[in-house]
Chains A and B, each alone.
Chain A
Amino acid sequence: MKRHLTVEDLARDGRFVRVNMEDRMNDPRNVGGPGAYGRDAAEQAGEGGRAGRVGLGRMVPDAPNAPDAARSLMHGIFVGEIQALEGAGRTCYDFDLGDGADQVPYALKLDMARQCWDEARHCEISVKLTEWMGTEIGEFTESPFLFQAACNPDALLRLAGVNRALEGLAIDVFNTMRDFGDKAGDPVLEFCEDWMLADEVTHVKMGSDWMRKLTVNDPERRARALEFQSVVDKLFSLGGGRSDDEDSPIRLARRFRQMAGFTDSEIDEIAEVSRQARNEAEDRVAARRAAMAAAAGSSPPAS
């Protein structure tokens, strides 16, 4: 078996529909897109949302599209769990043991094997949850972004991109979904998210610990890893949907991130990246609306 796969090598059965990240982000059903799930009626009518803000809002159970929003997010979590499993598995296999940049310590492989088991359970949990929520496998698309980050030839960069950035995001998402389950009166969802959240904190902490251990005498490698992490963080800032705000779609889970080895300034930086992305997203929405209004004004009246 060869080492170092690409996303094209990922094996899936016939139900899965793969799309690239751009297509997924442009899917109007996604959070942040026009007519996105989970917005309240005012937002969907384009008249400004909660707190008078046009744009992104928290997923709330009484929003008209909340069930679909939750199902879409859950399916996204499910395929993310599969890729997390695959990525951790590849890190067990792709490297020789050693201290070189293209090698990994034995204990790191043991951590990755442990993560394999955890992610396999998360797949089991999330596939049952998707069924519980009335979704079929393949009803929503799969973007292989997580596995892409797990293809980096430097194992430390894999940990920075996957464990620190994307699983850090998973902490925020699971925390948000757990609260959603609580508010929606869905104890099964709340229970499952709480358990997965516990494991993700461990995975993020693995990333933080290995970042420290592997770069103790190698500041350049550390800088490269942090840069990669920040690129991934920026890429997945979800159009600014992640912040400290009570009503943001994905709330930054500060306490759990601290448990997982993030410093306060690192969490502040993620919030800042997200704030910038939010401003950009709101500018885009405003521009789109202006263009639609202009187009409507110039079109001939319907007969």
Chain B
Amino acid sequence: MPDPKKPRPPFSPWDRRELPGSFTVEETARRVGNYKWVEMRLFEALGGWVATVPELDVKMRLGTHCYKHAWHSELWHKRLPELREMNPDRLTLPPNDAMVEFMEALTAPEGEDKTLEKLVGVYRVLIPHKIAAYTYHLNNTSTITDAPTIRSLNFALGDEFEDWRDGEMLIQSMIENDEDVRRAADRQAELESIMVRAGGITGPGSIGTEEVPNTVEANA
């Protein structure tokens, strides 16, 4: 029987967590507020699209994914007040106007012949950008002071990877010819250009690059 009084180190030898992190409380709250805004717009759009897609398997997947993003938004909604009593409503914001434009463009397709456009926007543009921003946050925040955010990021990322795979496979199953390939590529390019101007789901610095990335116009 081990001696219960024997001193042990406060951190077990295998526990490599560190204090330093890249984000202040305020910066964390800002990002979390952006996350909540994006998750909300996404679950609302997925819910709204369910009735507009004729493909039964897509309909059921969108309904399932709708809830996951609603739940992520709730995780962030609950995290905000813990970050020094931040007001969730005041901080539930897009990072900039370009992100608003992005979500408007993402949710614009409506007709029953636009399933491919809907899916490409979510699963080839938005979700990869969410995975990127969440991963950057996860890898750069303090593993000790910000453990609650890390826990929520891990929950959200688990869903994002799974949903991205679901969505990508639906897209692949719907692309049947060159015209479909072009439609998917055009749609991705259209939205990616706006996302570049937004700088990611939390604005410039979403994945650590602090400078505002070159816009498509500047490169042209």
Contacts and interface: CB of A to CB of B under 8 A. Distances in A.
Q: Do A and B bind each other?
A: yes
Interface of A: 1-3, 5, 9-13, 82, 85-94, 106, 109-110, 112-114, 116-117, 119-121, 123-124, 127, 137, 147
Q: List the 8 closest pairs (A to B, CB-CB), nearest first.
A: A93-B48, A92-B47, A113-B70, A120-B63, A89-B47, A117-B67, A89-B50, A11-B112
14 contacts: A1-B107, A1-B109, A1-B110, A9-B51, A88-B47, A89-B47, A89-B48, A89-B51, A90-B47, A106-B77, A110-B74, A114-B70, A117-B63, A120-B60
Given A110-B74, A113-B70, A114-B67, A147 B56 contact: no
Given A110-B74, A113-B66, A117-B63, 15 more contacts: A1-B109, A11-B51, A11-B52, A82-B59, A88-B47, A89-B47, A89-B51, A90-B48, A90-B50, A93-B48, A106-B77, A109-B40, A116-B67, A117-B66, A123-B56
B102 interface: no
Contact of B49 (A89, A124, A147): A89
Prevailing SS type, chain A contact patch: helix
A1 B63 contact: no
A90 B200 CA distance: 27
Interface of B: 40, 43-56, 59-64, 66-71, 73-74, 77, 107-110, 112
Contacts of A90: 47-48, 50-51
A110 B70 contact: yes
A13 B43 contact: no
Contacts of B49: 1, 89
A86 B51 CA distance: 5
A3 B109 CA distance: 13
B172 to A, nearest CB: 19
A13 B48 contact: no
A248 to B, nearest CB: 33
Given A1-B107, A10-B51, A110-B74, A85 B63 contact: yes
Contacts of A88: 47, 63
Interface-central residue, A85, A87, A113, by most chain B CB under 10 Å: A113
A252 to B, nearest CB: 29
Nearest to B115: A11
Contacts of B52: 1, 5, 9, 11
A113 B67 contact: yes
A109 B51 contact: no
Contact of B47 (A9, A93, A127, A137): A93
A92 B50 CA distance: 11
Given A1-B107, A110-B70, A120 B48 contact: no
Given A92-B43, A113-B43, A1 B48 contact: yes
Contacts of A10: 51
A271 to B, nearest CB: 33
Contact of A92 (B44, B53, B110): B44
Contacts of B53: 11
B64 A147 contact: no
Interface-central residue, B55, B59, B62, B112, by most chain A CB under 10 Å: B59
